[in-house]
């Protein structure tokens, strides 16, 4: 089995590479990245004959398609705004595809390629990290246990780690773009950082103040869970990260209006996008990530509430923080399933439709990501 990991030397990509490398049924892993000065040292660090590196510039379509050719699976761990480009390259190469989510709007565009993937006889699974990903599978699993579903509420939180836990660009978009929620059977956009709610997640994350954020779960769950009336997603950033974001907001550094700067124009947000992308994540490994999926409905005419939770810690063995682990591991499991033919459906699929929940949770548990149901 051959797997191409686009962005394989980024934090999430590293976790995908590490997990696939430990799978004896995966024969070849190609780290596709524009920066070989980072990719080669990481490949050497892992010390595996399975791993090779290939320069891939996503903006050069022919180069991207050639990298995808001959691969059983293309695992896209690049920035979400490149999802369509990588997905179309995988389609032309006739390779199965997966990514880590498209912040709702990109995911909606990707879903339109369903007929093309079916015609090609291949599968694309959208948003299969932790959230989206594990959250989708748990929501669908909870729904399958009930006769009818009224509400689905997804909540995440973190403790420790420091700095930007994942792409600074994505985090800044999550706090500045209008979130989408599904309420009383209708979609609606709400203000960024609205819908604040305190909730409790597994210790040591414990009490979290979360808020609505733009997320890919809302692009599929209202359609895949029949009859559901309300679907929400809230994120709870670590206090230190939220403090940084609040300072940027107060200073107007997340504004998109371009301002004159010595002969050219640049928005504060564009500057931050480029500058923060050059910063290395702090080495702190004390990070914990937790999520909760609450499914409310009826079973035999009685109202039931099913709650699924998990807690993920950093991996000292891989030298990766919890954010990378809980995002990369589900993606690696899914890449293996696609390559082995364990997902027979074809087309562009949401995780809650494509993955067998019981088997998925079993594979997660083998990697110390255990789902607790109450």
Q: Burial-class residue 135 by CB neighbours within 10 Å (0-12, 13-18, 19+).
A: buried
229 φ/ψ angles, rounded to the nearest 5 degrees:
-105, -30
pTM: 0.93
Domains, the chain, in order of start with CATH, read 2-130+320-373 (3.40.50.720), 134-313 (3.30.360.10)
Spatial separation of the C-alpha atoms in residues 64 and 58, rounded to whole Å: 6
pLDDT at 100: 97
E strands present in 128-175: 148-159
Query: Which residue has 């985090």 as its token pair?
Result: 171
pLDDT at 166: 67
pLDDT tens-digit readout, 300-329: 999 999 999 999 999 999 999 999 999 999
Tokens of 261: 């700067």
Spatial separation of the C-alpha atoms in residues 325 and 81, rounded to whole Å: 22
Spatial separation of the C-alpha atoms in residues 291 and 287, rounded to whole Å: 14
12 φ/ψ angles, rounded to the nearest 5 degrees:
-70, -40
CA 116 → CA 88, 102, 119, distances in Å?
10, 19, 5
Spatial separation of the C-alpha atoms in residues 169 and 273, rounded to whole Å: 5
pLDDT tens-digit readout, 44-65: 999 999 999 999 999 999 999 9
Cross-strand pairs, 312? 289
Grade residue 68 by pLDDT with cuts at 50, 70 and 90. very high
Spatial separation of the C-alpha atoms in residues 152 and 146, rounded to whole Å: 12
pLDDT at 106: 97
Omega within 30 of 0 (cis) for the link into 204: yes
Grade residue 164 by pLDDT with cuts at 50, 70 and 90. low
pLDDT tens-digit readout, 7-50: 999 989 999 999 999 999 999 999 999 999 989 999 999 999 99
pLDDT tens-digit readout, 97-114: 999 999 999 999 999 999
Report the length, in residues, of the chain: 374
C-alpha 240, offset from chain centre = 22
Pick from 132, 139, 304: which is nearest to 226 by CA?
Answer: 139
Q: Burial-class residue 32 by CB neighbours within 10 Å (0-12, 13-18, 19+).
A: buried
pLDDT at 165: 62
pLDDT tens-digit readout, 249-304: 888 888 889 988 888 888 888 888 778 767 665 556 889 999 999 999 999 999 99
pLDDT at 264: 85
Tokens of 96: 């199965």
pLDDT tens-digit readout, 135-145: 999 999 999 99
How would you classify the pairing of strands 206-212 and 197-201? antiparallel
3-state secondary structure of 102: coil
pLDDT at 243: 80
Q: What is the full DSSP assignment across 192-251?
A: TT-S-EEEEETTTTEEEEEEE---THHHHHHHHSTT--EEEEEEE--HHHHHHHHHHHHT
Q: Which residues contact 198 (CB under 8 A, 6 or more apart)?
A: 207, 208, 209, 210
Spatial separation of the C-alpha atoms in residues 56 and 36, rounded to whole Å: 9
């Amino acid at each position: 089995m051959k797997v191409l990991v686009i962005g394989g030397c980024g934090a999430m990509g590293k976790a995908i590479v590490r997990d696939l490398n430990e799978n004896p049924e995966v024969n070849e892993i190609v780290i596709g990245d524009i920066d070989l000065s980072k990719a080669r040292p990481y490949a050497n660090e892992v010390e595996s004959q399975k791993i090779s590196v290939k320069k891939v510039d996503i903006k050069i379509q022919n180069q991207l398609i050639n990298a995808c050719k001959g691969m059983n699976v293309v695992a896209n761990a690049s920035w979400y705004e490149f999802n369509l480009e990588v997905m179309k390259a995988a389609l032309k190469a006739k390779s199965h595809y997966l990514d880590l989510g498209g912040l709702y709007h990109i995911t909606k565009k990707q879903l339109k390629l369903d007929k093309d993937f079916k015609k090609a006889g291949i599968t694309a699974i959208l948003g299969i990290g932790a959230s989206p990903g594990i959250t989708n599978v748990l929501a669908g699993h909870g729904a399958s246990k009930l006769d009818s579903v009224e509400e689905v509420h997804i909540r995440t939180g973190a403790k420790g780690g420091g700095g930007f836990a994942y792409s600074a660009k994505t985090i800044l978009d999550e706090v500045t773009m209008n979130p989408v929620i599904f309420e009383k059977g209708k979609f609606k956009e709400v203000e960024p950082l609205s819908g604040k709610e305190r909730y409790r997640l597994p210790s040591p994350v414990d009490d979290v103040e979360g808020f609505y954020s733009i997320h890919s779960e809302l692009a599929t769950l209202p359609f895949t869970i029949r009859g559901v009336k309300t679907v929400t997603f809230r994120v709870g950033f670590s206090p230190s990260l939220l403090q940084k974001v609040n300072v940027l907001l107060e200073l107007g550094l997340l504004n998109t209006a371009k301002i004159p700067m010595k002969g050219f124009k640049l928005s504060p947000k564009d500057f931050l996008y480029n500058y923060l992308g050059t910063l290395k994540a702090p080495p702190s490994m004390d990070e914990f990530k937790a999520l909760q999926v609450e499914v409310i409905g009826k079973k035999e005419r009685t109202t039931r509430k099913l709650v699924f939770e998990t807690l993920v810690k950093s991996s000292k063995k891989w030298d990766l923080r919890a954010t990378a682990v809980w995002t990369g591991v589900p993606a690696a499991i899914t890449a293996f399933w696609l390559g082995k033919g364990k997902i027979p459906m074809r087309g562009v699929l949401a995780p809650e439709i494509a993955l067998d929940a019981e088997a998925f949770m079993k594979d997660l548990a083998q990697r110390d990501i255990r789902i607790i149901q109450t």
